[in-house]
Amino acid sequence: MNIIVIDDDKLVALSLKTILESTGNVTVAAMGESGQQAIELYSSIRPDVILMDIRMDGMSGIEAGENILKNFPDARILYLTTFSDDEYIVKALNMGAKGYILKQDFDGIAPALEAVMRGQSVFGEKIITKLPELMVPKEKFDFAAHGISDKEREVLELVAKGHSNKEIAGQLYLSEGTVRNYISSLLDKLTLRDRTQLAVYYYTEVKGNS
């Protein structure tokens, strides 16, 4: 897995490179220390995942991520930060980031990268506990009005909780192909792009109102 590490603290970036490459599964193709460098490096290298800090001098990681996703919609962005500010979490989710974990969760960074590569959305434990209160729904969600079946509803909930297709298939006694079909159907019915947006949609429109 080729990744780019963007952090304005060079010591942190070097530490991440050393630790992640020691796993044998990760190659840090480049390192940068600003949002602008993140954009330039992503464009030239096209890594599997970009691991990026949020708060940096000049252009923030959020601004850089928005620029990258505008030009490369399939980009996998995993935010790594010391900040769990509500505003940043909501922005990261809404823009289509694949994950948002705190630097305190250091042991979980490598597994998070692997999960993102498998198509999962990854959020640290402290972030997960914040989601319900941040994503407050405004009114009761009408599944029938959107043509969403009971089984699709179950799939949507498990996607939002970060489960992989294999895990969903096991829990619902379905084949992985059937799970993929349900997810494709949900994306089409809700006019969404990917499973990360499904997770955001679940917490913003559905949670607590089903």
Closest CA to 159 of 179, 134, 140: 179
Give residue 161's pLDDT: 83
Cβ within 8 Å of residue 181, ≥6 positions away: none
Domain-ending residue, one of 132, 165, 186: 132
Instruction: Tell me: do 188 and 110 sit in the same domain.
Output: no
Tokens of 43: 């464009």
Domain-ending residue, one of 105, 132, 159: 132
Domain-ending residue, one of 66, 101, 132: 132
Instruction: Tell me: do 17 and 55 sit in the same domain.
Output: yes
Instruction: Tell me: do 164 and 95 sit in the same domain.
Output: no
Interval 14-47: pLDDT, tens? 888 888 888 888 899 999 999 999 999 999 999 9
Q: Please report, for the domain that includes residue 187, its CATH number.
A: 1.10.10.10
Q: pLDDT-derived band of residue 125, with 50, 70 and 90 as boundaries?
A: low
How many structural domains does the chain have?
2
CB-based contact 48:1 (threshold 8 Å): yes
Q: Is residue 92 part of a domain?
A: yes
Q: Please report, for the domain that includes residue 24, its CATH number.
A: 3.40.50.2300
Average pLDDT for the chain: 84
Q: pLDDT-derived band of residue 134, with 50, 70 and 90 as boundaries?
A: low
Give residue 34's pLDDT: 92
Tokens of 26: 């990760």
Q: Is residue 126 part of a domain?
A: yes
Q: pLDDT-derived band of residue 139, with 50, 70 and 90 as boundaries?
A: low
For a pLDDT cut of 90, what percent of the chain falls above it?
A: 38
Q: Which position has the higher pLDDT, 207 or 185?
A: 185
Instruction: Tell me: do 40 and 124 sit in the same domain.
Output: yes
Instruction: Tell me: do 10 and 112 sit in the same domain.
Output: yes
Q: Which position has the higher pLDDT, 50 or 124?
A: 50
Residue 172 has pLDDT above 50, yes or no: yes
Walk across the sheet containing 49-52 and list its strands.
27-32, 2-6, 49-52, 77-81, 99-102, 122-123
Residue 210 has pLDDT above 60, yes or no: no
Give residue 202's pLDDT: 83
Cβ within 8 Å of residue 99, ≥6 positions away: 77, 78, 79, 112, 115, 116, 121, 122, 123
Cβ within 8 Å of residue 167, ≥6 positions away: 158
State which residues form the domain around 53: 2-132
Interval 66-93: pLDDT, tens? 999 999 998 999 998 776 666 677 777 7
Per-residue 3-state assignment (H helix, E strand, C coil) for 151-167 = HHHHHHHHHHCCCCHHH
The most confident of the ranges 99-103, 119-123, 129-133, 145-149 is 145-149
